[in-house]
Structure 1
Amino acid sequence: MTLRAVVTGCGHYLPERVVPNSEFEQSLETSDEWIRARSGIERRHFAADGETTSDLASKAAQNALDDAGLNADDIDAIIVATSTPDLTFPSAATMVQAKLGMTRGFAFDVQAVCAGFVFALTNANALILSGQAKRVLVIGAETFSRILDYTDRSTCVLFGDGAGALILEGQTGEGSNEDRGVLSTDLNSDGRHRDILYVDGGVSTQTTGHLKMEGREVFRHAVEKLAQTASQALENAGLTSDDVDWVVPHQANIRIIQGTAKKLGLPMEQVVVTVQDHGNTSAASIPLALSVGKERGQIKTGDLVVTEAIGGGLAWGAVVIRW
């Protein structure tokens, strides 16, 4: 028998305010058609004044708990993947812990930008396999609307706010790739590429920054590295793309999603796509898409799911899960 980290619940939350592409036409030299053609994005959600990342995360977490039929004290650990925490410290995860009324266990944040949820999921899997925790609540949550330069049409139209959450629980399997749960992971980073995607400010520089991106360079790295990490994770599990039921990619840009699917030899009919409705929600995009995919009836128990993401750092990775 083999211990596996099995998904037992998922949920998401989106702020009430919906921002259509047309809203940017009032202040920028852009159009709905231009944004759709280059990114596939039609709308996104922005957090309300006073609505924080931990607020979004807590609501997604509660929805995941409800989906699993659990309460907060059934959870041993909370990991929040975010680049936009409420405060420099304490962690957003401890704030979520308090908001959920969880009085035991531990909580911490992971920061790997858009790849954050893949890194958090890998850490949660390791905690379960090592016996440190039985149930881990893994959340991706962002308020990227707070770090955008609204004079830069190449970046500010791409991002949105939201949160998604999964609950992983330790369960025994047979030790084969037919088991439910996390079957393999693959993580990577290369700090030499920092300057193609970053925020030009931070605590130690005593500045407040905005997101900066070299779009063409990010695109070039993304398609190659996402296909590579997904293939490696499948190989680690003794599987190939022929075994995949669903790819749930980081929802950054429809052209990146299409290019990665093509390199993996998979049709778009097997890709969960939410970028048109949410934009790029960074670390929240994969758990958001997983929750929406389940809600739509796409992802079902027993399906083989591959998630992959790339973000600033550069940091990238993939996780193979049997749902």
Structure 2
Amino acid sequence: MKNRVFSRIKGTGTYLPERVVSNDEVASLLGLPDEDVFRVTGIKARHWCHPEQTCSDLAAEAARRALSAADLSIEAVDAILVSTTSPDTIFPSTACYLQQKLKARPVAAFDLAASCTGFLYGLSMADSFIRSGQYRCCLVVAAEVKSRYLDGTRKSSAMLFGDGAGAAVMVRDEGIAAADSNKAPGILGIRLYSDGAYRNLITVPAGGSKLPGSAETVENHLHAIELKGSQVFRTGVKRLSVAFADILREFDLKVSDITQVIAHQANARMLRAIANRARLAPTQMFSMIEQVGNTSSASLPIALDAAQGQHKFAEGDLILLGAFGGGLTWGTALIRW
């Protein structure tokens, strides 16, 4: 019987900047009482970078911790994928900055931009690289410095976003007989979606070829995140809860078969709404948003790393990942740990 090849996550890592920003500080910028920030978002604090820190600095720290957890050196890595929409520079890619900081050998290194769903897009690409035999080990990092793109007068975004990075080391796992493949650890399936009709729900209007940076764009705060909160809430909750149901149906699973659901930490109200629509038990939906805020594409690997550290799942358990973000993009991943 022919053996099948799987990819699996061997190690995860997180880095959060040292600077902790409380709701008092954010609320004072917005002219709100700090209790309103927590009531609306479920966030009590978030981490923001110091002025000298860059996206690749955060990525490098998370990557080193993931490699250490995997008990691998950077020499084992065949490809570096970085999810970010707050890169060091437009080009070269943040992945190339990261490659240099990790002192990696000459390997494939590139960025991908799928907003808050970016880590799942990177995970899917790494899974495909490994299953095809092109690479044996991929480093997938999501790193965001969203504090540089906030306008303190915009309540919908200024109270939400934090900075941080999360990383996963993915490796090839072979020698699994096809008959036993349903019990094998690793990525069982990743499903990705996008709908450009909703592209204006979350945007940074200026800085690209459509609207290059100028004194006028800076004066009008067009390099800051614009977010249509209520529409993002409704659309994100609906799309992700349906995607969860679809992937469970595809693999002939019930909600009760899943040990832990780890979703993009957008805000606490959205996590509760998704859990309710998906009919999850209270213990199934992981949340750590209180202390880190919304770290965009980094939130999923940061939450995955935290959930593992808190022993929310064990070897052989099924976990379900999900994310949604600007584009509109969304996706799910089913993993046997």
- Taking structure 1 as the reference length, the TM-score comes to 0.97
Instruction: Return the index of the structure with the highest Cα Rg.
Output: 2
**1:218-258 C-alpha deviation (Å, 9 max, x unpaired):** 00001110111122223333323221000000000111111
8 Å CA contact 1:73–1:104 kept in 2: the answer is no
8 Å CA contact 1:185–1:236 kept in 2: the answer is no
Distance (Å, rounded) in 1 between the aligned partners of 2:277 and 2:291: 25
What SS does structure 1 have at the residue aligned with 2:315?
A: coil
Distance (Å, rounded) in 2 between the aligned partners of 1:238 and 1:181: 17
8 Å CA contact 1:78–1:107 kept in 2: the answer is yes
CA, structure 1 residues 271+25, in 2 after alignment: closer, same or farther (shift >3 Å)?
same
* Pair 1:115-2:117 in alignment: yes
Choose from 200, 206, 211 the match for 2:212: 206
Q: Which residue of 2 aligns with 1:266?
A: 280
CA, structure 1 residues 108+237, in 2 after alignment: closer, same or farther (shift >3 Å)?
farther
Number of equivalenced pairs: 323
Q: Which residue of 2 aligns with 1:315?
A: 329
CA RMSD of aligned residues (A): 1.2
8 Å CA contact 1:177–1:238 kept in 2: the answer is no
Q: Which residue of 2 aligns with 1:156?
A: 158
Is 295-304 or 141-150 further displaced after alignment? 295-304
Distance (Å, rounded) in 2 between the aligned partners of 1:277 and 1:230: 26
1:45-124 residue pairs with structure 2 within 5 A? Answer: 45-124=47-126
Q: Which residue of 1 aligns with 2:304?
A: 290
* Pair 1:231-2:250 in alignment: no
Amino acid at match of 2:19: R
* Pair 1:6-2:11 in alignment: no
**1:74-114 C-alpha deviation (Å, 9 max, x unpaired):** 01111111000000001111111111111132111110001
Q: Matched residues, percent identical?
A: 39
8 Å CA contact 1:117–1:140 kept in 2: the answer is yes
* Pair 1:185-2:190 in alignment: yes
Distance (Å, rounded) in 1 between the aligned partners of 2:282 and 2:141: 26
Is 238-247 or 15-24 further displaced after alignment? 238-247
Q: Which residue of 2 aligns with 1:254?
A: 268
What SS does structure 2 have at the residue aligned with 1:269?
A: coil
Stretches of structure 2 lacking an aligned partner (at least 5 in a row): none
8 Å CA contact 2:261–2:321 kept in 1: the answer is yes
Stretches of structure 1 lacking an aligned partner (at least 5 in a row): none
Choose from 135, 143, 146 the match for 1:144: 146
The CA deviation at 1:31 is 2.3
Is 228-237 or 71-80 further displaced after alignment? 228-237
8 Å CA contact 1:184–1:236 kept in 2: the answer is no
**1:162-201 C-alpha deviation (Å, 9 max, x unpaired):** 0000111110234433211000111111101111111111
What SS does structure 2 have at the residue aligned with 1:104?
A: coil
Is 210-219 or 195-204 further displaced after alignment? 195-204
**1:14-48 C-alpha deviation (Å, 9 max, x unpaired):** 00000010112322221221111111111000011
Distance (Å, rounded) in 2 between the aligned partners of 1:110 and 1:268: 33
Distance (Å, rounded) in 1 between the aligned partners of 2:263 and 2:33: 26
The CA deviation at 1:54 is 0.5
- Taking structure 2 as the reference length, the TM-score comes to 0.93
